[in-house]
A and B are shown apart, each in its own frame.
Chain A
Amino acid sequence: NAGVTQTPKFQVLKTGQSMTLQCAQDMNHNSMYWYRQDPGMGLRLIYYSASEGTTDKGEVPNGYNVSRLNKREFSLRLESAAPSQTSVYFCASGNDLPPYEQYFGPGTRLTVT
């Protein structure tokens, strides 16, 4: 059981470049999430997907798009990267039963220059 996997682990982009962060889970969860983590800011929710075929904005969605490709996979796309998007990105999947605890991937460290 791999749990939640993310690729890549590290990425450096130039301003204006695009990229997609990949996430997959093997726990058969319906809900999946994308967070960013910045020093002193804790975890902030970017987008989430309650089930296959649905996505919703979180706290900080601007500059991002998501795709729920199937039940296992949930990708995050930066269309035109900005230095403000330098961060560590975490994908998580959530248990479908109370208390709906989340399970996190190892993260992607993104630097935009």
Chain B
Amino acid sequence: AQSVTQPDIHITVSEGASLELRCNYSYGATPYLFWYVQSPGQGLQLLLKYFSGDTLVQGIKGFEAEFKRSQSSFNLRKPSVHWSDAAEYFCAVGAGGSYIPTFGRGTSLIVHP
């Protein structure tokens, strides 16, 4: 079965600084990979997804993620963080043949003015 790890529980950045949130997965073949964002009191919103093709994926709100097979990683990046990006971010992995993803525990992003 697949698994996913988000090593950082909390990340603090200053507004305008760059951001990288880490995600590592465990699965034998090429997985389906997702990043979701959850603002306080809201549901999860899909930021981006990967399942084939170009390993650099562009998403909404200026986010991108890069699939690195050799490192089993799918890290989320943003070049300049805005205060409105403060939220919980979840990485998820799905395996071929199963349409039910496994979610990471989440990383809480705090943005300082």
Contact = CB atoms under 8 A, between A and B. Distances in A.
A99 B90 CA distance: 16
Contacts of B46: 101-103
B44 interface: yes
B99 A100 contact: yes
A4 B42 CA distance: 12
Interface string B77-113: 0000000000000100010000111011110000000
Contacts of B90: 42-43
Given A42-B103, A48-B100, A98 B32 contact: yes
Nearest to A95: B99
A50 B43 CA distance: 21
B30 to A, nearest CB: 10
Given A99-B32, A99-B51, A100-B99, A42 B105 contact: yes
Given A42-B90, A42-B104, A99-B94, A107 B42 contact: yes
A101 B49 contact: yes
A90 interface: yes
Instruction: Give chain B's interface residue range (CB within 8 Å of chain A).
Output: 20 to 34
B18 interface: no
Looking at chain B's contact residues, the main secondary structure is strand
Interface of A: 4, 31, 33, 40-43, 45, 48, 50, 58, 90, 92, 94, 98-107
B74 interface: no
Interface string B28-44: 00001110100001111
Contact of B45 (A41, A43, A98, A104): A104
B26 to A, nearest CB: 16
Nearest to B45: A104
Nearest to A103: B46
Contact of A104 (B33, B41, B43, B51): B43
Given A99-B32, A107-B42, A40 B50 contact: no
7 contacts: A40-B105, A42-B90, A42-B103, A45-B100, A99-B94, A100-B32, A102-B46
Contacts of A43: 44, 90, 103
B101 A102 contact: yes
